[in-house]
Each structure stands twice: as C-alpha cells, then as structure tokens.
Structure 1
Amino acid sequence: MAGLHAAVIAALLLAALSSVLSGAVNLGLRDVMMAIMSPAEASARDVSILWSVRLPRTVMAMLVGAGLGISGAVMQGLFRNSLADPGLTGVSSGAALGAVTTIVLGQNLLGRSAAYLLPPAAFLGGLLVTFLLYGLATRSGRTSVSMMLLGGIAIGALSMAATGLLIFISSEQQLRELTFWSMGSLAGATWAKVASLLVCATIALPFLPLLLRTLDRLSLGEAEAAYMGVNVERSKLAAITLTALLTGCAVAVSGVIGFVGLIVPHLLRIGIGPSHRLLLPMSALLGALLMLIADQIARSIAAPAELPIGIVTAAVGGPVFLWMLMTSAAAEVH
C-alpha cells in the first residue's frame, strides 16, 4: 500500500510540474526555477506568468480536486453506497444556487464586493440542500439510499430551475460570467481564491481524523455503530457539514465540476478496500491528480482557446458512471 501512495504522490508532483510549465506561453524548467529562486534576476514576464497565473491555478486545481474527492468518500461512507456523490445528491447544485444568487442579486446590491460572499453563500446553499435531503431520506432513524438518490435528483432539479431563473434576470456581463462558470473552470484562479480554499481546508482538517473510524463503523449499519459507541446523529451532522463545506468552497471558486467526487472514491474502494483510514487521504491525492490532468486537457485540447473543465470531467465521468451502474446491476443479478 505504501507503494501505491508513493506512486500517486509522484504522479501528482509530475502533473503539478507539467501544469506549471505548460500553457499559452511555454516556460522551461530553468525559467520556473529562476522565477522561484531568484525573481529579481528572472524575466519579468516569466515571474508574472508563474506567480499570477500558473501557480495559483495549479494549487487551486489540487485543492478543488482534493476537496471533491474527500466529499465523495465521506458521502459514500455516510450513506453506505458507492454511487453517492455531492453532484448526484444535489449538494453541488445547492452550492451553485447559493453562488449564483450572490453573483446576480449580490452584485446588484453590493457591487463587486459581493465576490467576497461567494464561498459562504455556496457553503450555506450546499448545507441547506444536504440537510433537506437527509431529512427527506431518513425515517424512524434509518436512511433510505434510494430515497436519498431520488430526492437528490429532485432537489438538484429545483435548484437548477432557480439558478436558471436567476440567469434569466441577470445582466449581459453577469450572463457571460455565469455561463462559463456553470460549466466549471479554473481560468479565474487567484491567490485570493486559493486563500479561501485554504481557510475551508483548515476548518475541515480537524474533523477528518474523527470521521475515519466512525465511517468504518457506520458502514456496518447505524444500529451496529451505536452498539460500538458511535454517536450516530452527531457523526452524521459532522459528516454532512464537512461535505457541504468542502463542496461549497470548491463550487464557489471553480463552478460546478461533476463526477470527481463519484469516480475517485469508487475506484479506490475497488483498489484498496473500504477502510476510510486509507480511503480519505488517497481520495484527496487522487482527486487532486485527476483535477490537474483534466485541467491540462481542458487547456490543450482546443488551444489557444480553453474548454470548461466541467466538460472534460463529464466526458470522462459519464461513461465511467455507466460502467459502474452496469457493474452494480450485474453484481445484484449474480
């Protein structure tokens, strides 16, 4: 297992280096090292490109991918279903609704300063949808997985309808911003957005060790977990809040990026097993790696233009999700 960790970390470092080097203006490794170690002696262009564009984009991609990967792993562990995902259960659309409301209505009331409200608004939108879904899916202390998935589809549709209405009343400038943002993009990466993600990560990190053993016990069933000393309701509350926080912050800075939180933990469960002690950190690493790779594809496939990264993840994630459904159906038949 240590070998797998080392391989993923090595691949992540290589992907990060490739992300920093490649783009509309290619930078050599020597140029990057000079811009980092001796910016006064390096080209002003190289320093500006590296520190204002490439590094914040690379770091933001890793943080968004890690957050979505952890969110998916927590959701799947909480609901004991490997097809659970912040996108499929409506959390992403709820976070998107909070962010779009801030962009459209907040800008009309507060001007450009409304941008600072994006992360908390997306977090609150995702949290509200998560609690609503949990309430709908829970009866007599038991959570129905089928109700969770169906309710998530319905709540996601309602959230998207409200989002569409806000887009309809938006200005032309807001419409252009929202259209590109709704498909997911890392093009607007800044150090301020990176800082907001780091704040979210700082808040979330203390809760992760507490969830490792709890999620393993919850996978046996809520009654069994309670017999083993788990405070089930408090653990659910912590897991739901953590998921809404990480998903909301990711949506706020990058828009809606689907399937990462679904595919990453699902494949890892097949490869390394269901133990969350390994699953959560590996989901963070692999999520960051896949986000960097998807961003590289989005930047290069139609260069010098740039595809929204949500299109790339959907084009890859859709077929993988269908394969997962077919595999699950075949397993139930046998």
Structure 2
Amino acid sequence: MKELKAFLIVVLVTGAIYWGVEPYAHSILHPHVEPANFDFAKEDTTLAKTNVEKAEAALKAAQTSGDKSIIDGATKTLENAKAELEKYSTFWADINSIDLSKGDAASGANLVAAAGCTACHSIKSAGFEPAMDDKSASEAYGVAPPDLSNIGYLYDGKFLAALIKDPAMALKVTHKFNDTNPFPMTAFYGAGGDLNQEIADLVAYFKSIAPKEMSDRDVFIESCARCHDMKYVNVFANGNKQSIANYLGMTPPDLSMYIRSRSELYLNNFINDTQKMLPGTSMPRVGLNEKAQKQVIEYMREAGDSKKEERETTGIYIMIYFAILSVFAWAWKRKIWSKLH
C-alpha cells in the first residue's frame, strides 16, 4: 500500500509539472502567435493590427504607473505601430490592385533586360550568366543575389509581385534599411509603361520559366544557402561569410540541428514571417509558398533528424519493456514478502 501511495504521488507531481508548469512556462517564454499564413497581405496586416493592440494595452499600463518616461516610450511605440499598420495596409492594397492574370510572359522577357534585372541577377535557365562570382557578389551587396530561374516555383504570384515592386517591404526589413542605408535591391519604378502591367508581365515571365518540380535539397539551397550552412549534408553558404555577417549584423547559424533545437511549428511560423517570431531581427522573410516551405522543413528534418521515426518507435518499445518489468517486479515482491507475513 505504501508503494502505491508513493507511486500515486510521483504520478501526480509529474503530471502537474508536465501538464501544468511546463505549458505555463512555455506560454511565457514563447507567447502564442497565429499560425503561418501564406496570404502575406493578410498575414502582415493582421500582425500589424496585433502590434497596435499590444501597444495600446502597454500605453494603458504605462498611464496607470504615472511615470512620464514610461508613458512617453509607450506613446512612441504606439505611434510606430500605427504607422506600420498604415504602411502595410497601403502596400498590400497596391499589390492587390495588380491583375496578375493579364501578365504577358513575352513582354516580361523583354522587360527583364530593360529593367536591369540581369545587372545583378543571373537567370541561367534563360542564358543569363552571373555578372560576378558569389564571393565577389556578396562582398559587393552583402549577400550574393539569387539566380532567378526558379523563383516562379518558390514564390506565389502575389508575393513575387510584392518582391519586385518593393523588396524591402515584401521581405519586412524596412526597420533595418532606409534612405540612409538603402536595401541592396532597389524598388521597381517601371520601365516607362504602366507599372502594374509591367509587374504582372515580369511575374508571368518568371512563372513561365520555372520548373514544374524541384527536389527538397534544391529548394533548401535556393531558399536558405545564400546565408546559412547545413554542414550535416555538406551545404555551405555560397558567399563571403564575413560580408554576410556584416550585412545581417551577425553570423547566420548552421541549420543542421534546427529541426530539433526548434519545433517544426516554430520553423513554420519563423520562415513564414520572421518578424512575428523574432521582432526586430535582421533576417528577411523567406516568403516561400506553402509547398516550397514544406520542402525546406522536410529537408531540414532529413538532415538533422533522420532517425526520428526509429527514435520514437524505440521509445515506445522501452515504455512497453518497463511496463512488463513493473508487472514482474510487483509479482516477485508479492512472492518474497508473502513468506514474511
């Protein structure tokens, strides 16, 4: 009977920690955020509205304190949050006004040269080779400009339009880059015609030259390996590491074990919107469509947690073993102690 009581106490304490303390601690350290949303217009405006609501609540709390410096800081934060909401609402309204269905791939092909895309970017599938090697390019721009052959596969049309129109806004790095510190890729102001039509034509062109399928490894390399290593599978950043570190403000981490050190949910949300998970980070939004993002995470799992199924199965076997062992231990104890009473 004493053993049963001790067992029940252990179960209750463990249960309280596992289902009570741990979730509470997690909610404090990792506050709930909305799940990844691949409608980036809705994602950005929703996050901006949430930030305004948080800033309003913080201002009310500051006013209660009566501390002028705290109130002034909270007021400034609220003003900035409202400005961000206005900025993203206007930006995505402009993007939504572009009729991508009217894009003409042939016109887009002509625009690629006229708009100067190939001055920085290669499009190897269309015969445009890079103007310089990756190391030199990263030293010039901070990070090597990507080849554009596959961007029609990686991004949906609306995000691609946003990326062409104003890359700093689409990638959510306007807090880092401004008029005095301009983003390496300039906004597209048109090549003399109707701006919205030209953007639609460029999107149509990039969609037309994109492959129908890509391997998980190729998607990861295209999406992540301009900055990040993944040494477990011999993937290394394709530029000057010091230039990349200067560009981002820190050396980008190796991603080999990120599938295990971060949860899959965290990675999904972070890749989808870096600012939602880590406000103020210098890492740009990746902007992948849902299919490409799943491929990136699957490749990270293959690289860093290839034994997951085997490990989980082994865990079940161990639990079964201990359950059987407990039965035999209890039976043995009953047998031994029955002779002493």
TM superposition score normalised by structure 2: 0.29
Structure number with greater CO (CA < 8 Å, separation at least 6) is 1
Q: Give the greater-gyration-radius structure (CA).
A: 2
User: What TM-score, normalized to structure 1?
Assistant: 0.29
